[in-house]
Amino acid sequence: MSKKKRRIFTPEQKAEAVKIVRTAGKPVGQVAREMGLTETALRNWVRQDEINRNPNPQGPLTTDERAELARLRKELKRVEMERDFLKKAAAFFARDT
């Protein structure tokens, strides 16, 4: 059984699909079928758009907050690797003296 290749959508494409759902007054399932999308994906995009429009400090993360979190996690991983390397280097040079 072969898997379907995962499609990638730009933020503009997602925004346009959400706009159609909000303005057309059609159900998400119908818009998803018309656009060739999965209903789940379109529902997630509509939900995330609602979160972005009405951010709640105690609620789910906005798109910008998710991007910042990913960036910070990546930076933390890099800094931890540098720290571990410096620890090993310090131990190596301390052993030689």
pLDDT digits (tens, 9 = 90+) for 14-64: 999 999 999 988 899 999 999 999 999 999 999 999 999 988 888 899 999
Q: For 8-60, which CATH class?
A: mainly alpha
Written as six digits, the tokens of 95 are: 């052993």
Residue 5, SS3? coil
Q: What is the pTM of this model?
A: 0.69
Domain edges within the chain: 8-60, 64-97
Q: Which are the contacts of 21, defined by CB distance < 8 A and separation ≥ 6? A: 28, 31, 42, 46
Residue 7 has a pLDDT of 86
Binned at pLDDT 50, 70 and 90, residue 1 comes out as low
